Chain A
């Protein structure tokens, strides 16, 4: 590709009417350049960077041979050096010569270009007088929006660059961009975005430089082989610009194997640094962090529970999601409130051009979505899905639910046995709606609503055995075992572009997470001609979390080399948690509310033509419950060593104020609830991240390595284990405070283009905790996985997609009984107990699994993909991966039983849409 600038340069010269032979020394350089004094230190920057830097810093107009200048490193310290002298110095001891024409344009070229005639550059800057710019010498700014050409949806994260340079920018959340100091000879923009055709957009003097909008065509499948050249990876995009960032576009998720649903969170678990061996959690274990240390934002509101069906699916309907950004650590000052990571999900805007309707039907659920263009300025997206009690649902439900066994044995003891057991139904559903209104070119209003719920009903009842029914007796024994949890979130967002350089994003959001657990044993007996008697015993657990948030974020592009982000935020939390036994007092009754408010400021400096980016920032929070202020300094540094190799690093401090607690109680089923930090039992936890990485990226491949070290302080651990003294049983003292660290290194190799794409990643990691209650030393955290290896490979052929994923993870730690003992109780019975060894000293067997998917795509007359039929095979070689171990004492011996994750599970999906 390097012939292009040379060619361009030659062309420019050719067109100049007065041919001149270049000379290294100009006899009398125009005096204005002598008056410009340069004081800069260049240490090994390539000449093209040097010239570009001098262009925008000193207003010089330099046209140079890119292919040659980008290979010559330059070392010099200019001190009050005149511009003309400086240019001369840059060409010393090189094969370059230079010339300055009457318009003060400096031409730098290789000496072998003698005899080529010059032409005045065809540049936008040369036309600036026509649009009233005051200083035609200075390079111009270009701004506008990027959007999907077929739907008019704005696109964020689109990379817009000036062809054959490293100058470029990425569109913001509202699709807007600004390129400052575009060299005046720019004629072509390169526009690329995953899932879309890469575009070369020609510029000319007639364009509107303040609203230069760029439409992108979705990548039509039939043209994929051709289009894929120069395009970025479809499913995963590991950012070359930001450390530890992964962008994911759900529209391509169907290509990855899935069980029942294409799933955003499950797909992230295939990425390096995110633990994959957690079938019972859709939440992300990022770099040794727990799911509650990962902040999940959906159109600006926080989602507190991301699981459907025991965590096997996430709460996010991929049909309603536009894109997801995952920040694995060292994230910017804009984000806070979590120790580990951020998952930022943006809902689909919807088309303002065409109505669309589509849906998926699988063995697990039905999923329907629509896009309604109400007016040119108003679009609506709605999506809904609901599980149905099909074979896959029941298979997963029964695999993850282990209450059934104990209930059966209870009921077995009753007269007549449990012959007539009737079980209740369970289901999940979720609804997403988003309304986008663009009243002016500068304002976008969005209303987003999300509601999802799980009703996990494991109730059953025993109907009257026949011998008692014959006696006229009606007997009803049963267990009500219902876990319901629901998320409701909504946000109203106002995005405004105050000027081309200043944008704001203001949102008011509400989020509610409610979980209810009721496990009751009811019994009633009625006789003909007599009253009914009944009894009820059991547990009740209720958690209700509400947050109302207001935040306002601002981005200000002061210059091409300086971007400022700042904002303010306030969240009011209200959390209730109660836990009670049916016939005793409330055991736990927590009610906390608190205000969290603050602001942040971040300043990004870009030096040496995008080579070096330094982003310091700070976040300040005030938490009402502790009445303290918390300051979180952040720093990110990127250095593009060459065009292909870049170094990235980040440092940051992070605080967390709301914590999710998991009550792992297999006898009655696990449940989760949230608590707020306070002054006494649950302190505000904090972490410090140190991250550094190196990546080598070509159009076809990406090779990356990233290392991290995280220090955790004041983390809380909840244990079901209650304590007893001679006078009381205390259920409130179950929070232990400790510390920990997590460190690791991630290796990734990705093939981004062609028929065959995919990636291989390996993570070596260690996560250790120290809690005085367990030991004075460090022990492996529950989520500690030492080695993780993942292969994701996809192959496209005409109408077909094939994909294989393979995951290997070394076993997670667990605590085992060391022995057992029995105590004779006062009623004459004997109770068995187990005692434990040190915390987490043993490891479960290694986890590994292979999934396979095959999809056949349908195309309409315009050769556009309108759906597919897919077969997905989960755990194809039926590996018995151990979830946990269950212990029972039989004849004074402890018998251990493995409780396994899901075995081989096939699924069929049909997905169709109008367009």
Chain B
């Protein structure tokens, strides 16, 4: 029995001494590039943050020779500092294929994407919706359902679309009175990227009165997948899927169409 206890004590002491070590990690650059049809090519590079308290600053992000291969030609991007690169002469085309290539940390970083076609048949069931202002003393008829606006578009190829709704007013007025706190006050909301050809914007989704811009993004699946990455447990941790070799982030083509609607006060 004494032996058992001695062994137990030894193991207990051993057990208390162990500490975790920090792994060495070779950071890859973070690429953020949305290739929006009709706009000049632009790209944002950044660095990853360390998990330790020491702030990691990636060197040389503004002095890279970044090449884009498109239209059977190669284009060099110009640095605008802070990791931003552009080439005003390279306009993004619908349906075009773009390849990115540069060397960072002695590794060749590459990525490729195809720009989707511009959405067609994009329409809204109404161009205005009336919503009553809600205060803490509002009557029962003031809240909350005032119908919806249905958006629709063509999606015969069953590809991914994202709808983003933004309030355009410079001094917007809230639908729910400012006396009610603890509500979402952002001026932009969106749907979940889906393989769909319709979306209902419910009246209670709006937070502000006034003019709203509705952008329908035709997106690639790799972008839709960015919204699907929420697992941060050590039991199943993995680096998010990315189409970028030797890098992380997003390099994807997008195409969009825009509508405007009014949210009026009832």
Q: Which residues of A approach B to under 8 Å, CB–CB?
A: 412-413, 415-417, 467-468, 471-473, 525, 527-530, 533, 583-585, 664-667, 670, 719-729, 756, 760, 782, 789, 791, 793, 806, 808, 810-811, 814-829, 831, 833-838, 841-846, 848, 884-888, 892-894, 896, 899
Contact = CB atoms under 8 A, between A and B. Distances in A.
Interface string B113-148: 110000000000000000000001011111111000
A818 B23 contact: yes
Contacts of B195: 584-585
B183 A415 contact: yes
Given A473-B140, A789-B11, A820-B51, A833 B236 contact: no
Contact of B220 (A721, A727, A756): A727
19 contacts: A413-B182, A413-B184, A473-B140, A584-B195, A720-B236, A724-B224, A724-B243, A726-B252, A814-B237, A820-B48, A820-B51, A821-B49, A822-B30, A823-B249, A824-B44, A827-B162, A834-B237, A835-B239, A842-B21
B21 to A, nearest CB: 7
A824 B233 CA distance: 23
Given A725-B222, A848-B11, A811 B140 contact: no
Nearest to A793: B4
B235 A820 contact: no
B172 interface: no
A728 B221 contact: yes
A848 B15 contact: yes
A66 B8 CA distance: 44
Contacts of B220: 726-727
A826 B217 contact: yes
A816 B23 contact: yes
Interface stretch (B73-81, B88-96, B99-107, B186-194): B186-194
A198 to B, nearest CB: 26
Interface string B3-34: 01001100110110010110111011010101
Contacts of A816: 23, 51, 234, 237
Interface string B161-193: 010101000000000100010111000111000
Given A415-B182, A473-B143, A838-B23, A887 B217 contact: no
Interface residues of B, number: 88
Given A583-B194, A819-B27, A820-B51, A726 B113 contact: yes
Contacts of B249: 821, 823
Given A823-B30, A833-B240, A833-B248, 8 more contacts: A415-B182, A467-B136, A527-B140, A666-B231, A724-B243, A791-B8, A828-B188, A837-B25
A823 B250 contact: yes
Interface of B: 1, 4, 7-8, 11-12, 14-15, 18, 20-21, 23-25, 27-28, 30, 32, 34, 44, 46-51, 53, 56, 113-114, 136, 138-145, 159, 162, 164, 166, 176, 180, 182-184, 188-190, 194-196, 202, 204, 215, 217, 219-241, 243, 248-250, 252-254
Given A724-B224, A820-B51, A842-B23, A835 B28 contact: yes
Contacts of A525: 144-145, 204
Contacts of A417: 182
A724 B7 CA distance: 52
A829 B196 CA distance: 22
Contacts of B221: 724-729
Nearest to B136: A467
A836 B237 contact: yes
Given A815-B237, A837-B23, A846 B18 contact: yes
B20 A843 contact: yes
B4 A760 contact: yes
A533 B145 contact: yes
Contact of A821 (B15, B48, B53, B196): B48
Contacts of B236: 664-666, 719-721
A62 to B, nearest CB: 46
B96 to A, nearest CB: 13
A472 B15 contact: no
A806 B8 contact: yes
A723 B241 contact: yes
Contacts of B182: 412-413, 415-417
B225 A729 contact: yes
Which 8 A/B pairs are nearest by Cβ-Cβ distance?
A818-B25, A724-B225, A819-B48, A472-B140, A666-B233, A885-B234, A664-B236, A837-B23
Contact of A819 (B21, B25, B228): B25
A892 B55 CA distance: 10
Contacts of B44: 824
A842 B21 CA distance: 7
Contact of A811 (B18, B28, B184): B18
A821 B233 contact: no
B18 A836 contact: no
B195 to A, nearest CB: 6
Given A729-B221, A892-B49, A724 B241 contact: yes
Given A415-B182, A471-B143, A833 B28 contact: no
A417 B182 CA distance: 8
Given A666-B235, A727-B220, A835-B239, A471 B140 contact: yes
